[in-house]
Amino acid sequence: MRLLPGKLPVELLQRLLPLRGAPDRRVLLGPAFGQDAAVIDLGAQYLILKSDPVTFTADEVGWYAVHVNANDVAVMGARPAWFQASIIVPPGTSAPAVRRIFRDIDRAARSLGIAVTGGHTEISPAVRHPIVAGDMQGTVAREALVTAAGARAGDLIVMTKSAGLEGSAIIARAYPDAARTALGTSAHRRAMRFHHQPGISVVREALLAARAGATAMHDPTEGGVAAALFELATASRKGLVVDLDRIPVHPYTVRLCAHFGLRPLGLIGSGALLLTIAPDDAARLLRSLSRRSIPATIIGTVGRSRGVTARRAGKRVRFEWSQRDELTRLGG
């Protein structure tokens, strides 16, 4: 099997996940497809552990690393608290460039109330641009834990913000001339800052959703909202019935994807949050999000079957997803 850029193929990953070292009864949730983080039972509370690298961009890479790791801790209902980073840069990287990575980590961590507790730095010819592999931890009360496996038949599926925000910002910054052609100068400037506004952090909305009674949450990253829906369905062993017409996609994302020949729902999607919640709790959550100016849309329901059923214009259509993110289809 020849591996392509992106996540490992599901079939290979499923064969590798059982290789998990020594048994430990304190590991409540270890390696599992579709789950965002590990859960360790400390008795009175759970410790949430997450690690994730940033590889799609070298711009503000430290800032990205903090936020993408914090998101995956928050979707477990936990408040992110401690962060460590392994920073690897290629030979010839300037000292000011390294300082920027450290400053970006500090800035992002301070904005979320997270302490930076250590890490590792290295200069290596094995990388072509700076790589930051983050490790985030947080804690959650036992009764407040949320996982991607908790979706229940009859729940509503809610999505915040819109699809492909992170990917749109990356494209706008990495391909400025083509993106400016697709969007125009003013819109291009705004798209370049999508990672800041509307923003790729989902910590606020995830913690709100956990308090409101969310039964499952998942953070779309590589593969976008489409891959995240498949992962959520797999983790929960439930069927998701999704109205594709209701999935929000920002007009700038639509135009960028049309120009580059990409699928918006397959574009790296940090900034959106997928969650399931009982209908009786959904109205309260939507009001709470609205008061904080966080857009949220009901995009479907949870059924008793397996997998994802997609509908468009009221008719069932083929659901397309891929672990290979749309960004990997672009040239260097």
Q: Which residue range(s) make up the domain with 63?
A: 10-144
Q: Please, what is the angle between helix 203-212 and helix 61-74, to 10°?
A: 0
Identify the pLDDT of residue 331: 67
Q: Which of 144, 179, 196 is the last residue of a domain?
A: 144
Chain-wide mean pLDDT for the chain? Answer: 95
Q: Which of 144, 169, 186 is the last residue of a domain?
A: 144
Banded model confidence at residue 170, pLDDT cuts 50, 70, 90? very high
The CATH number given to whatever domain includes residue 275 is 3.90.650.10
For residue 5, being part of any structural domain is answered with no
- Tokens 């789950």 locate to 35
Q: Say whether both 310 and 239 belong to one domain.
A: yes
Residue 332 has pLDDT above 60, yes or no: no
Residues 6 or more apart from 186 whose CB is under 8 A from it? none
Identify the pLDDT of residue 59: 86
Identify the pLDDT of residue 3: 87
For residue 305, being part of any structural domain is answered with yes
For residue 175, being part of any structural domain is answered with yes
d(CA 68, CA 270): 7
Q: Say whether both 75 and 190 belong to one domain.
A: no
For residue 278, being part of any structural domain is answered with yes
Number of domains the chain is built from: 2
pTM equals 0.93
Banded model confidence at residue 37, pLDDT cuts 50, 70, 90? very high
For residue 149, being part of any structural domain is answered with no
Residue 260 has pLDDT above 70, yes or no: yes
Q: Say whether both 170 and 36 belong to one domain.
A: no
* Tens digit of each residue's pLDDT (9 = 90 or more) over 74-93: 999 999 999 999 999 999 99
Region 289-297 average pLDDT: 97
Residue 266 has pLDDT above 90, yes or no: yes
Give the start-end residues of each E strand in the chain: 27-29, 38-41, 45-54, 79-89, 115-123, 131-141, 156-160, 216-218, 239-243, 274-277, 296-303, 307-312, 315-317
* Tens digit of each residue's pLDDT (9 = 90 or more) over 182-230: 999 999 999 999 999 999 999 999 999 999 999 999 999 999 999 999 9
The CATH number given to whatever domain includes residue 92 is 3.30.1330.10
For residue 206, being part of any structural domain is answered with yes
For residue 312, being part of any structural domain is answered with yes
What share of the chain has pLDDT > 70, as a percent? 99
Q: Say whether both 57 and 34 belong to one domain.
A: yes
Region 270-283 average pLDDT: 97
Q: Which of 109, 144, 179 is the last residue of a domain?
A: 144
For residue 75, being part of any structural domain is answered with yes
Least confident of 57-61, 184-188, 244-248, 310-314: 57-61
